[in-house]
Amino acid sequence: MNVRSPESSPLLGHCPPSLPAKAYYDGAWFDRESMAIWARNWVYAGRIDAFRPRTIRRIDIAGDNVIVACDDNNALRAYFNTCRHRGAELCSAHQQDYNGRLIRCPYHAWAYDNEGALVSTGYATPTHDFDKALHGLFPVALHQWNGCVFLCLADTPPPFEPDMGVAALDNWPMDRLVTGHILEKQLACNWKVFWENYNECLHCPGIHKGLSDMVPIYRKGIMSDEEDADWSADQGHNAALKDDARSWTVNGQACGPEFPDLTPRERAIAHNFVTIYPSTYIVAHVDYVRIVSMTPLAPEITQLRAEWLFLPETLAQAGFDLANVTDFATTVLLEDGAACEMNQRGLKSSRFEQGRLMPQEFDIHAFHKWVLNQLEPWQ
C-alpha cells in the first residue's frame, strides 16, 4: 500500500469546530454579513446578454438597490438606484426601457447622462449655490468576466479573484454561450448552509444516488482522488465520470459538439468547478456550462438560481433534447436544497450550539475561515 505524507493530502488533520449555530439564523449576524461580505465583495448580477440595449435593470444586493444601464452601444454602467434630488428610486420595475442617453427620475424629471452626471433638474430652477457637478449618480463598481457581470458596492472593491484564477475558463467559449434554461427556487436555509453543502461530498452517497452513479468517486463520500486514503501521486488520476459517460446529462452523453479547445485534463475532469464567493459557482462541462448563484433574502431564506449555457448551434441542432441536460443537474440541486433545509431545521434545536467538522470537510473549514476573516473588522 502506498502511504501518503500528511503534506500531500487535503484532508484536515484535526476535527475543528464549525461556526456557532446562531450564525445561521441570528438577525444581527445576518446584518453583519450583509455589510461585511455581500456589500464588499463581487456579486454575480447575470449574463451580459441579459442586459438589453436601451434598458435599465434593477438588482438588489445586501439590502441595497442598484441599477445597471445598457446604452445604445451595449456599454454597461451601474449606479445606486437613488436620485440625488430627494432620493426617489430611478427604476421601480425589474427592467424598464430608457432612451439609451439619459437616465431620468420619474418623480421630478432630474436627468443624468450615461456617465452619471446630472444634466437637468427638470422643472426646478436651482440658485447659484447649487453645483450640478456635485450631484451626479452614485457609481457602483462593475466587472465583466467571461460573459458574466459582477457588481461590488464597496468604494474600493477587492481584486476579482475566482478560486481557480481569472484564466480558469479560458478554454471554454464563454463569450459565445447563451442561456438555454433557468431554474429558480427559494430555499428555507441560510446562504452559508448551501455553500457548506457544496463544499463537501460526505452527503453524496446518501443524498445523490444518480450523481454518485455518474461520478464513481462520490460513492466514497469524497470529491477527488487526493482525498482517498490509498492514493499517491504516482497513481495519477482516474476519469471523473463512469465508463462511456461524457457529461452531466441524463444519458451521460454530450448534448452537442464538445468544446474544441479543452485540454485532456479538463476533459477528464468533466466537471470543472470555479468558485466566486459569496454568490456564485460555475460548473464547466465539455459541452455546456452551468452557473449557480444565490441571494440571501433573510437569515433563513436564500434565493437559488441556476443557468444552463450552450453554444447557439447546440441549441439549434435537430433533435436537441434540453431536458436530457437540465433534468440531471436539476435533480441534484433539488436534492441539495432539501438537504440544506433539513440541516437548517436541525440547527434551531435548543441543544445544538456548534458542530464539529470531519477531515473530509477541509473546504468547509476554509470557507468558515473566509467568513470569519471578512467579519473581523465588523465585530
CB 286 within 8 Å of CB 272 = no
Residue 293, strand partner residues: 280, 305
Is residue 235 scored above 80 in pLDDT? no
Question: What average pLDDT does this structure show over 155-182?
Answer: 97
What is the pLDDT, as a whole number, of residue 5? Answer: 43
CA 133, CA 239: separation in Å to the nearest integer? 60
Residue 277 CA from chain centroid, whole number? 7
Picking from 365, 378, 260, the residue whose alpha carbon sits closest to that of residue 314 is: 260
27 has pLDDT over 70 = yes
Amino acid at 146: N
Q: What contacts 307, CB < 8 A, 6 or more positions away?
A: 47, 179, 181, 182, 290, 291, 292, 293
Give the HSE-up count for residue 266: Cα atoms under 13 Å, Cβ half-sphere: 20
pLDDT for 228:
85
Instruction: For residue 217, name the pLDDT band (cuts at 50, 70, 90).
Output: very high
The answer to whether the beta carbons of residues 66 and 43 sit under 8 Å apart is no
End-to-end CA distance of the chain: 48
Q: How far apart are CA 162 and CA 233, in angstroms?
A: 26
Whether residue 2 is predicted with pLDDT greater than 90 in this model: the reply is no
Burial environment of residue 69 by CB neighbours within 10 A (0 to 12, 13 to 18, 19 or more): buried
The whole-number pLDDT of residue 4 equals: 36
pLDDT in tens, 278-325: 999 999 999 999 999 999 999 999 999 999 999 999 999 999 999 999
Q: How far apart are CA 26 and CA 278, in angstroms?
A: 19
Distances (CA, A) of 36 to 80, 301, 311, 368, 376: 18, 19, 37, 14, 9
Q: What is the pLDDT of the chain when averaged over all its residues?
A: 95
Domains and CATH numbers, the chain: 10-38+164-378 (3.90.380.10), 43-152 (2.102.10.10)
**From residue 67, how far is each of 88, 132, 295, 325 by CA, in Å?**
13, 21, 17, 33
Cell numbers at 49, concatenated: 446578454
Residue 357 · residue 364 · CB < 8 Å: yes
Q: Of all helices (H) and strands (E), which one includes residue 167?
A: none
Is 89 within 8 Å of 66 (Cβ atoms)?
A: no
Could you give the CA distance from residue 222 to residue 88 in angstroms, rounded to a whole number?
51
pLDDT of residue 270: 95
Q: At what angle do helices 362-375 and 191-198 cross, to 10 degrees?
A: 150
Please give the average per-residue pLDDT across 17-39, as a whole number.
98
How far apart, in whole angstroms, are the C-alpha atoms of residue 65 and residue 59? 6
Q: Give strand pairing partners of 235.
A: none
Q: Quick one: cell of 182? A: 433557468
